């Protein structure tokens, strides 16, 4: 990993990419979404403050656990003076995201547990699927593709 002298207070986009592990295109994308900021030199080159490294690490860690960029941006905007997040900030924000992540985990577990059922159920429709109809409301009255056929008949009338 390339070392940057401690007296260097600003990083080029290439240095930031090398140190953060994020592609230059990803850094430009993060900037376009308001997740990081840069200043422009007289030659119109981007320069990032050193603390942008921590901000990029924060964004990438949040993305890895499935937090949408819009949610990450909102969280970063809530920080005083939009400063770089600290360890305490991460702890606070990750706790706030816990219920959202728990719900996603529950949905993914349901998907995993019922995935093999999809091949043989015959419904051919997400509207009647055990995954999108988890309490099987339709199953109390009818089964499989017959419900799909009845719906088509109603739509054609």
95-139 residue pLDDT tens: 888 888 888 888 888 878 777 666 555 555 555 565 555 555 655
Highest mean pLDDT among 30-34, 87-91, 127-131: 30-34
With contact defined as beta carbons under 8 Å apart, do 48 and 38 qualify? yes
Look at 64-73, 86-95, 138-147 and tell me which has the smallest mean pLDDT. 138-147
Estimate to the nearest angstrom the gap between the alpha carbon of 132 and the chain centroid: 21
- Could you tell me the two tokens for 8? 């260097």
pTM: 0.63
Query: What average pLDDT does range 38-56 have in this prediction?
Result: 91
Long-range CB contact pairs, 5-14, < 8 A, 24+: 8/50, 9/49, 9/50, 10/39, 10/47, 10/48, 10/49, 10/50, 11/47, 11/48, 11/49, 11/50, 11/52, 11/53, 12/45, 12/46, 12/47, 12/48, 13/38, 13/45, 13/46, 13/48
Look at 29-43, 75-89, 121-135 and tell me which has the smallest mean pLDDT. 121-135
Alpha carbons 12 and 156: distance in angstroms, whole number? 61
């Amino acid at each position: 990993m390339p070392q940057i002298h401690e007296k260097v207070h600003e990083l080029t986009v290439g240095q930031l990419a090398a140190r953060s592990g994020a592609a230059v295109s990803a850094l430009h994308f993060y900037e376009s979404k308001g997740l990081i900021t840069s200043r422009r030199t007289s030659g119109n080159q981007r320069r990032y403050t050193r603390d942008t490294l921590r901000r990029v690490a924060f964004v990438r860690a949040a993305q890895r656990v499935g937090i949408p960029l819009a949610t990450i941006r909102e969280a970063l905007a809530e920080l005083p003076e939009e400063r770089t997040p600290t360890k305490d900030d991460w702890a606070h924000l990750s706790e706030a995201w816990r219920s959202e992540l728990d719900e996603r985990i529950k949905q993914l577990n349901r998907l995993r547990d019922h995935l093999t059922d999809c091949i043989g159920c015959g419904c051919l429709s997400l509207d009647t699927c055990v995954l999108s109809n988890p309490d099987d409301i339709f199953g109390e009255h009818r089964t499989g593709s017959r419900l799909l056929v009845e719906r088509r008949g109603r739509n054609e009338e």
